Amino acid sequence: MTEESSQWFDPGQLQFKRPYGAAESGQRVRFTVKPLRALGFSRAVLTARWEFDGNRITETVLGWSGLEGLLDCFSGELDTTGYTGLVWYAIRLEGFGGRYAVTPTYQLTVSEAGEEVPGWFGEGVTYQIFPDRFRRLRVPDPAGMVGGRWVHQDWAEEPVWQPDEHGEIRNRDFFGGSLAGIAEKLPYLKGLGVGTVYLCPIFEAAENHRYGAADYEKIDPMLGSREDFEALCRRAHELGMRVMLDGVFNHTGYVSKYFNGDGFYPDLGAHQSVESPYFGWFDFQQWPDRYTSWWGIYSMPTTNKMSHEWLEYITGENGIIRSWLRAGADGWRLDVVDELPDFVVEAIHKAARAEKPDAVIIGEVWEDASQKIAYDVRRRHVLGGHCDGVMNYPLKNALLGFLLGGDAHHFKNDMEILRQNYPRWAFYSNMNSLDTHDTVRAVTLLGHGGDGKDHDRAWRSAYRLSDEERRRGEALLKLGALVLYAFPGSPTLYYGDEVALEGFEDPFNRRTFPWGEETGALTDFFARLGAARNGSAALRKGDLDWLKCQGRFLSFRRTWEEETVVAAVNAGDKRQGLRLPWGGVLELEAMSGTLLSKKNGKIITIL
């Protein structure tokens, strides 16, 4: 290297690469490098590896295109016609006497041309509900229900976390939350500005989390009936809200009508007979007790994705995807989508859009979805026709890292990498959250300052934040939420976060909602955030530009037509200032944040 490549090429700046970020198939991507003329470079070559085309290698000469002050300019185009996938490229400058300079290898994502994603999900606010723990209208009787379950009589009791006499945590303790209970609280959610209600699994299952389905065609009887679900959807639609279901198709339950490991169901399951109609749905190494299961967990046998009958059951005209959309659902979140081959995800996407043209498919991906490799295959999650967006765990991790003491510059860099790797439609349709049913509650993590894994589970079960920790946790939670609601993608509120519901990992993060405590200052703050998001086109769909991102100060702006909104948070312990894009200086006190809007020449504070 004769000079740092960042001085003469930066793929995040339009002067060096157009378009910004991902390209559509058929688009010509223009590259320009600008080295100092005094360095004497006479040639520039872009080497590209087309991964989804057998790792084909091409070289494109970037011709000399003129001078820009003291800089030579070399420019050229990469034609993506006929290609969808990832391109890995680097640019090499060559000069006399063997002089050279080369960039690092960069990623160019090329998605399908003309991909259109319904805007309702990414623009709106999402509320995630763990159905058993949200709202109970009566204490149900579990007699005759699958799984040998039992019900807590006291809504405020701690979920069972201890293993049974066999060393298993069976998740058979229920609290009795119901669909009717959720429907009753829809006006409350509407008051929070919620546009999408995302429900963790609601189909019949033996465990309280219901991630091992026993019958995809039936609502779990403790939650209600198909009629209750249809009524919930009708009420949500009347309020201008949508309902998203959790699709867990990679595996079923050991206790299910398909596998029927315990013989609960009257018809023969795959575990009982090779003559079962479901036998081909599973992969047996030695029938009946050696079979492929999710992460080796025997209670979740993995489905055989190569089974035509299984795929038709899920994606056919009268399959699970379409029938529940027909019943009122508006979209699906796909659990462990990396475990599903691309052709299955594509079939799910096609089935959903065939039933409802504005249905949305969101995938559970914990990493950068554009780069995800599963089972040695690079997934096509965000290349078009598969996932419309994904769960944005990279944002969650980066934002929590900042709130816990990190530098805002790192958050900006992490998000810029993601924004450049994702097509715009995917970046703007991500499910953005600070916590989920699979992670530590944000207020606990931020207030305690860690995940509690340096203590045993008994300690984590009994632990509650001190008054000081709770004040700190809530203050940081508010700053994180402000960023979340101002950022591209759907801000997603995990039930109970608006009342600072505490908890470390599962099942402590799945405690019951403390009804009667939902009218405090924190809930009001989230309601104001929801109103701000819904009332601003710039926050819902505007362009993103970074402002001051340094140390404990994070700020950016969103722009749409005549409206510009500045989001700024100061997570430090000292007052800091920000020079505003329209002039003047904003002063933010320690541990505070704001949303400022300028529209048609008028500047107002919207939060």
Q: Catalytic residues, which ones?
A: 335, 364
Rounded to the nearest angstrom, the gap between the alpha carbon of residue 317 and the centroid of all alpha carbons in its chain is 28
The DSSP output letter for 491 is E
Cβ proximity of 134 and 185 under 8 Å? yes
Sign of the torsion formed by the C-alpha atoms of 135, 137, 139 and 140? negative
Q: Which two tokens stand for residue 1?
A: 């290297």
> Which residues face 555 on adjacent strands?
568
Distance separating alpha carbons of residues 394 and 389, to the nearest angstrom: 13
Q: Are 412 and 549 spatial neighbours (Cβ–Cβ below 8 Å)?
A: yes
d(CA 6, CA 9): 5
Q: Which three-class secondary structure state does DSSP give residue 14?
A: coil
Q: What is Dmax (Cα atoms) for the chain?
A: 85
Residue type, 117: V
On whether the CB atoms of residues 554 and 132 are closer than 8 A, the answer is: no
Quick one: three-class SS letters along 102-144?
ECCCEEEEEECCCCCCCCHHHHCEEEEECHHHCCCCCCCCCCC
On the question of a cis peptide bond just before residue 288, with omega within 30 degrees of 0, the verdict is yes
**Strand, helix or coil for residue 476:** helix
H or E segment to which residue 527 belongs:
helix 521-534
Which H, E and C letters describe 197-241, residue by residue? EEECCCEEECCCCCCCEEEEEEECCCCCCHHHHHHHHHHHHHCCC
Using DSSP's 3-state secondary structure scheme, residue 10 falls into coil
The 3 state secondary structure assigned to 262-282 is CCCCCCCCCCCCCCCCCHHHE
> What is the rounded distance in angstroms from the CA atom of residue 462 to the CA atom of residue 454?
14
